[in-house]
Amino acid sequence: MSIFTIIIEKLGFGAISAIPSIYKIGAIVVALAGLLITARVYFDHKVDQKVAIIEAKYQKKMQHDANDLHEFNILDNQKIVLVYQDKIKVITKTLTKIVEVAKTEVPDVNTMLSNGWLNTYNASITNTNPVNPSDKTNGLDAVDVLVDIAKNNAICQDNSVELTNLQQWVKDQQAKIAAMNKANGAK
């Protein structure tokens, strides 16, 4: 007597005993397959729900971190711009004062600077070799040259302030990235 026959008799399905065993086994296999498929669909659905919840939490955290970084960058960048603009205003005011002093207070004794002097000065600005440094012909009035030198120096100071602020901004960004990586467990 087979196990299936015993199960069927115990469950009270006596009329089924007339059905050949192969059909009984087939029916049981189909019933078990249906049960397994139903269980699989149910558990897959549960897993999908859990994955969706975890994914939603992760997306929310990433959005929160991005918002924090964006807000921090806006505040930090505004601070850097304000500091930069304040320093540039000081340089511009000082330049205006120096140009006024050069034009009104520096004694004008009709001194002309030679073209050799101008060529050598221009070479020093551009970091090149001077052309005709011994040229003694009159070039420009000394006061006009002083005004141009003051303007060139102001431009250099503007560039220096901008570069210094840019370097500080880069360091700040690197520190922020390192802090975020550390907070997120990255190496």
Cα 118 from Cα 139, distance rounded (Å): 7
Q: In this structure, what token pair is assigned to residue 164?
A: 């210094």
Q: How many helices (H) and strands (E) does the chain have?
A: 4, 2
pLDDT in tens, 47-75: 888 888 888 888 888 787 777 666 666 65
CA 161 to chain centre: 23
Which pLDDT value is given to residue 149? 86
Average pLDDT of 126-155? Answer: 82
Secondary element (H or E) of residue 138:
strand 138-141
Which pLDDT value is given to residue 183? 79
Give me the long-range contacts of 21-26 (CB less than 8 A, separation at least 24): none
The domain spans of the chain are 3-183
Which pLDDT value is given to residue 81? 59
Given a cut of 60, whether residue 95 has pLDDT beyond it is: yes
> Which 8-state DSSP code applies to residue 136?
-
Length of the chain: 187
Q: How confident is the model at residue 19 (pLDDT cuts 50, 70, 90)?
A: low
> Which 8-state DSSP code applies to residue 127?
T
pLDDT > 70: percent of the chain: 79
Given a cut of 60, whether residue 78 has pLDDT beyond it is: no
Lowest-confidence region among 6-15, 44-53, 95-104, 173-182:
6-15
Q: Could you give the C-alpha distances from 74 to 61, 63, 68, 79, 129, in angstroms and in order?
A: 20, 16, 10, 9, 45
